[in-house]
Structure formats: C-alpha cells, structure tokens
Structure 1
C-alpha cells in the first residue's frame, strides 16, 4: 500500500494556466498589484463583494474600477486546463493501490470560481473528491487556518497527504502542518515526483531495463559509445545477461574498454581496468586468469603502482583502476604481488585524494564504490582491517553531497555495506527516477586526454535499483 493516500493540489498556475490577452486593457504590472493587494485577499475570503473590491482597489491604485473588472475578466477568459496533467492525475488515482483521493485547494472568490467552472468545459472536475476554496473557508493560503480547515473537512492524515502549489510560501505552510509539500514548476517534474512517491521504484526500473534490453549503450556528447565496461557492471548488478551487449574477448583473455571505434582509434589497447572487471564478473579459467595477471605485472611504474593499459607507451595510473586490479589479484590469492599498489590505494583513501574524481572516473563515489566492491569480495582479514573502518568514515562524509543518480546510488550501496543509514540520499535518488521508470545517465567514465564524459542510463538504473533494494533490506531489518 502506498504511503500516501491523498493529494491536495492548487488550481491556478498548476492545473490551469492563464495569459493576459494581447489587447489587455489593464497593464500586467497593474494586474499583479491587484492580485497581491490586501483588498483582493479580503475579496477571496468572501468578506467583501466583487464591486466593493474593484472600487476599493481602483482608489488604491488610481485605476478605473471598470478597467480592473475588464482586466480580471480577460485574464479569466484566457484560462486553459492542463489536460495532460489532469489525465495523469486520473491514471494515478485509478492505479494507486489502496486508493487515492484528490482535492483542490484554491485562493479564489466565489464569482471567479463560478466563472472558472463555466469557462473550462474541457476540465474533468470529477477527479476531485472535494474542492476547498478560500471564499468558503473564510481564509486563504498561506494562512494555517486554511490547511487545518481542509484537513478537517476531508478527515485527512497530514503525514499521508501530498500538497502541490506553485508558491513557496504556500508549500512551506503545508509542510509546517505535516503535509508532504511539492513545489510545482512544470508538469514533467511533478509527474516524476509523484511517480516516485506512489510507484514501486524497483518494478518501474526493472521494466525500463527489460524494455531497453540490448540497447543500454553509453553516451558521450550525444554519441552512442559501444563499450564493455558498463555492460559488465550492469550484468553484475542484475545477473541478467539478456540486458547487455558484450564484445568478443581477445583470445588471450584480455578485455578492451571499447567494442567499436567511436571517439577512439582502431587499435586502441586493451586495459587492465576492464580486464580486471571482466575476470571478476565473468570468471575465466584459472590458467587463463593467471596468465593475464602475469602479464599485468609487466605494467608497473617506477613507484611500484599498476598502470592502466597493456601498453608501455601509455604509462597512466588511476586509483580506481588500481582498486579493480587489486580485486582481481586478491580474488586469486595473489594480492601480495602488488603491495605498492595496495599501499597507494590506502593513501588515496586516507588523504581523500579521490574527492574530485580521478583521471578516468568522474566522481568520488566511483572510487568508494569500487573499493567497497573489492573489500566485499575479499576474504583477507588484512584488507578488511586496513580499509573497512576508513571506508565507513569516508562514505559518511559524503552523505547529502550533490551528485547525479549514479553517484547517489553508489553512495547508498557503500552506506549499506558499512552499516551507515542514509535516508537523505535515498529520498533524492527516488525523486530522480524518470517518468519512463529509468534514471538519467549518471556520469562514470571519462576520456583522460579530452575530459569528455561517458554516462549510461542502464547502469544508473541498475545501480539505483540495487541501492534502493539494499536500503529496503536495511530498513526491514531494524
């Protein structure tokens, strides 16, 4: 059953939009002054008549009451219903498990409300289980009496009620009464937020992955990049081979990041990073893995740190690559052969050298996630003693930091592993889920020379599903 069972939604500038006609007799700035005047507020509360309102405001603004009347009538005549949003509300109401009631709550006078009902003939007013107006309540938003009036009249539990309005002061007042306030900016954002609150994020994410199976390519500057790295990670997250496309592994068992020649050369070398990931996600025969690790040991720099490529002309190092190579070596009991790499990775963690990402990886979370992956897959007590307490400390420092969907999901996975509660990033991650059930492409990899970034919706979605599932398990165990 959904946590929320009711929605209270504003009418003007949410479900209805308006625009002054071209021949508007009342200047727009004057119209705004009319609608924000204390006299108009009294009129909306039903305390003065329409004519008295126009007369008083006319004197206040040195404007003809007739011009005010015509300006208001012209604006009302321009009202248009947001049919797409109304249709969305209808579908949400019809499909929400346990039932959903929807109410309207508007600062509006009785004459203007009557005019609204008569003008907007295409509006499906039946979606509302009740309509609360300021003239009927004798109070208006953001006055707290109006919220208490609505909650009382509809017998609503504020903790299970969502409030939607385009004005921050109105949303703030709603939140102060215990409602879940959503600030309206545009329909797409609102629908995304509501789906994250009412829908099952895991099921929606899984549908997205299934629908796009075999087409979860990475993107770089609008260009689809056929590569192996994210595909291997998606496979590890989902255990579903049908979702991904992998390139042919070279006969000696090495992996290349790329499966094509987009934004790269035809003879781009294989790399230790993708190879280490491939050999830990899809286990090779021990003899093959041993041969590859033997070759990797030929690519160590003067500091004793493992390099990125099977290529002596590219002597690059990256701490995330080092972590993934450590994972491979420790998986086969050979961790002691790259001890300098082990020490350097610990120094990177200790001194927070990863906070702005690395040469090939976009975010701090990439380093922390792959370090978690290494530790969790290793049964060496020295590794756990050396890294686990410090990893827990470092991931706690990241809670609430800005990040895209992939960074937040990685952060949540590491938090789960280290036993750190993180409801802040979980809520943000859920709000990032798109209308189609997937998450936007979070950035993971980048070209070291140009800095061009690579993102993948499939990976971000798979990681988000995994993170939300981990968080759910943690909550259920409390």
Structure 2
C-alpha cells in the first residue's frame, strides 16, 4: 500500500483558475448578459475558430439586442481585468521543481485566438507550462471529449496518471470519464491542499510537520484556548517513539493532566488515574514505582467495584475510557485480576454500545474502542483476548465508514490494522484531511466533564494518522481504490 505519487501530468484550465477576471464593465452590458454571451452557441463557435472577432461581436449584438461596439468595449474591459493566480502558480512551480522532471504541466482553455494573444501579454510564468492547448487551435471545446482526446494524444499523457483542474463541473466530469483525476476549482486554498495530498507522500509530510513543530505541539480547546497538558504529549510519544517532539512534566509517581495552572476548571486540580496509567505505561517507569501507584489506585474503587478517575475521594467520577487505561496498567504488571469488576463493566459497555455518544471525558466512540484495543495489544493477555477481542472486532467493523474527524479516523484505522481488518473506506477519507503544512486537521479527543468544552491537538492527530498509514501499509501491502470517499475540494479546512 504505497502512497508515493503516481501522477505525472497536471492539466489546468486558464480562465477562473490560473487567471481571474471581472464581468463588471463600464458599458451598458450587465454581468448577467455578459455571462450569457459567453455561454452562447455563437461564442462557442468563436472560441473554436469558426468566425472572426468582428463577426462574433456583430452576431451576439443582434442576439442580445446590444450595440456590437458595446460588446467590444465590454470584452476589452474583461481583458483589462485579467489577473494571474500567483498563489496557485507558485505552488505548481514548487510541485514541478521538486519532481525532478517527472511532472509535466499543461494548460487547456476554451479561448479564441485573439483573446489568447492578449492573455499571453499578461505577466505570468508562462515558462512553467510544457504546453498550452486552446480551443481555437484544436478546433474543439470543453466539455467535448474531442478536445481532451486531442490533448492526450499530443502530450502522450496517461489519463490514469493525470490530474485535471477546472472550475466547471461538466468539464471535470468529461475528464473523469476518460480516467483522469478531476478537481473542481472553487477555492485556491482547497485546490492547493488537494494537489499537495495527491502529489506528496502523506507519511513523509506528516513527519516533517511534527519535526518542524517539535516541542510546540500544544493542545487547544474548541473555543481557542491553548493548554499545556501531559495526556496528548504521552500519546504523541507513544505513537512516534521520539522524546524530542514532546514536552512532559517530570514525575516519579502520579501524573496530573495539566502541566501548569489548570484552565477552565478548579484552581486545585487533582492528579488522575487516567494520565497516571498512561504515563506509567508509556514512560516505562520502574516496576516498584508502578506497583506502589497501583496499590494506591485500589483505594479509589466505588461501591460497584469500578475504578474511579481521580486520586480524590471528593470527586467520585467514573469514565469507561479511564477504566480501560487503568486496566491497561494493571494488566501490564499481571495484576488485572484485581480489577475484575471493572473489566466486566467495560465489556458490558462494549456489548451494549454504551459508548456511541462518547463518555463523560472523551468525545467520540473511537476513543473508547481505541484504548480498548491498546489494552489488548499492550497486555497480550490470553484471557482478555478471549473475553474482549471477538466482540471488539465486531464493534469496530460496525464503525467502518462512520462519520468522524481526522483523529477518530486515525484511531479507527490503527485499531483495524491491529485487529486485521482492511479499511480502505476510512483511509480514503483520512488522506484528504491532511493540510498544506503536512499536519492533519485537529480532532477532538477529550472534553471537560461539566462544560463539555472539547480539547484537541494537531500533533496528536498527525502522529496517529502517520502511524495508522504506516500500519495499514504493513498489514495490507496492496493499494486501496483510488476513488475518493468524498470530493477532495469540498473538505472543510480547519487548523488549531
């Protein structure tokens, strides 16, 4: 399952993609009429070189009841307004330069010969293109298949290795029907993101993001408050095995979620069994310390026999994910039998799908399932494998293809890789969520129990996404389908 780019050709529309223009003129011709002229059969014939400019202006003047001289003035205003899309052109230049000559770039436009002559006088990096095809020269016009076939024949491009970008759906549809990867242009930033994702290696780009932001991979709330906390840092460390990426509060025994003064909660925030369990399993603490902490944890079990969240009897909170993480610690040291009633309750939560709306402190069902898979993987306990694993496989299968943010998808994919479940559906959804900088969109992992404010971390999402892709590559070497799960340029773009 290699994700190195197989694309060798880029084909771009010119008008409204590489160049923008304004339909607003100083004439009596309205924007609406101007656009109708551009879509008229007469104008189509003009762009295919079947009549002169003067003849075209005369005909559309008669068809739309306007003076031909006004038509000429209107289109002169349109030509004067032409401006190159330097952001997109710069990205294309970068992509082509880094390809070491393997990527070829072409333009393909419905444009008349006179208008093209004017266009070429506009400042732009025309040397970027290996060829420019106009409807006037070819005698065909998009979306007619003849135009595309002429370009393919002339360039020798393999449609299956070609990306086509155009602002009109019907033009993209024709390209796709010939086997090209079509992107509808409606926003420069989205198209740039799609190009980076299609032409780059997601693992390499993700790692670059993590390295560039080392020690700065902070968490953030969904209302924009930055948090310095240990839990996400521990998970990033576990996923990357790179201590240089994270900041952790040194501790010899128990861990606190917050590294500094608690935010959005009480000023004195107790140490918790959740972060402590994670810290003791990720950092390989001395065995005597781990046993001592587990002895203390056994003092925080409620009347139902379920282990609690905080080292604080004044906060008798219970959360299934916290229970799973405590079980992971206990089973890591062969003391799982001491939390039998907690384990039984966790299986009931799994059996009855009680996790589907998240838990008190965790935002998504994937959090519960992910940490349950982590329990099985770390413990390698035969009893747990029999008691939990078959049901977990069934529940994870149910989630494949379900809605989820980048973090939930990454957790699901890692689970599938561990359980031996191929999951091309969620992989195809995850890949386009990678941003231009190489990191993935933020995903929400936990939340404040009282207010419901969510907490996420792009570094955590990116580290789990990279790990998920690698594990899926290793488990299932054959490539997934290249058909995107959702349109590449319709994705929402959010960053922390």
TM-score by length of structure 2 reads 0.91
Q: Indicate if the aligned counterparts of 1:2 and 1:97 stay in contact, CA closer than 8 A.
A: no
CA contact (8 A) 1:196 1:433 kept: yes
Aligned counterparts of 2:147 and 2:258: Cα–Cα separation in 1 = 60
Q: Deviations over 1:3-27 (max 9, x none)?
A: 1111011111111011135634321
Which residue of 63, 69, 73 maps to 1:70? Answer: 73
> Structure 2 CA distance, aligned partners of 1:149 and 1:263?
63
- 8 A contact 2:417–2:471 mirrored in 1: yes
Distance 1:282 1:172, change over 3 A: same
Report what 1:42 is aligned to: 45
Q: Kindly tell me: are residues 390 and 93 of structure 1, through their superposed partners in 2, closer, same or farther at Cα, counting changes over 3 Å?
A: same
Partner of 1:455 in structure 2? 456
Q: Give the match's secondary structure for 2:11.
A: strand
Q: 1:278 maps to which residue?
A: 279
Cα separation, 2, equivalents of 1:242 and 1:195: 27
Q: Structure 1 residue 288 and structure 2 residue 289: aligned?
A: yes
User: Which structure has more RCO (C-alpha within 8 Å, separation ≥ 6)?
Assistant: 2
Distance 1:290 1:212 in 2: 35
1: distance between equivalents of 2:138 and 2:307?
A: 72
Whether 2:212 is the aligned partner of 1:194: answer no
The equivalent residue for 2:254 is 254
Which residue of structure 2 aligns with residue 355 of structure 1? 356
Structure 2 residue matching 1:377: 3-state secondary structure: helix
**Per-residue Cα deviation, 1:72-104 (whole angstroms, up to 9, x for no partner):** 221111000012221221111111156100011
Task: String of CA shifts for 1:260-298, please: whole Å, max 9, x gaps.
Answer: 123333320011111111111012222222222222222
Query: Take 1:390 and 1:472, find their aligned partners in 2: how far apart are those partners?
Result: 25
| Bigger Cα displacement from structure 2, 468-477 vs 222-231 | 468-477
Between 1:319-328 and 1:392-401, the stretch displaced more is 392-401
Which one is further off, 397-406 or 325-334? 397-406
SS of corresponding position for 1:53: helix
> In structure 2, the residue corresponding to 1:105 is in which secondary structure?
strand
Partner of 1:155: 156
RMSD value over aligned CA atoms?
1.8
Q: How far apart are the structure 2 equivalents of 1:226 and 1:105?
A: 50
> For 1:59, which of 58, 62, 66 is the aligned residue?
62
Q: Structure 1 residues 22 and 317, CA, compared in 2 at 3 Å: closer, same or farther?
A: farther
State yes or no: 1:108 paired with 2:111: yes
Matches within 5 A, 1:353-432: 353-432=354-433
Gap regions ≥5 residues in structure 2:
480-496
Distance 2:80 2:379 in 1: 69
Give 2:486's aligned residue: none
Q: TM-score, normalised by structure 1?
A: 0.94
**In structure 2, do the counterparts of structure 1 residues 388 and 42 end up closer, same or farther at CA, with 3 Å as the change threshold?**
farther
Is structure 2 residue 334 aligned with structure 1 residue 333?
A: yes
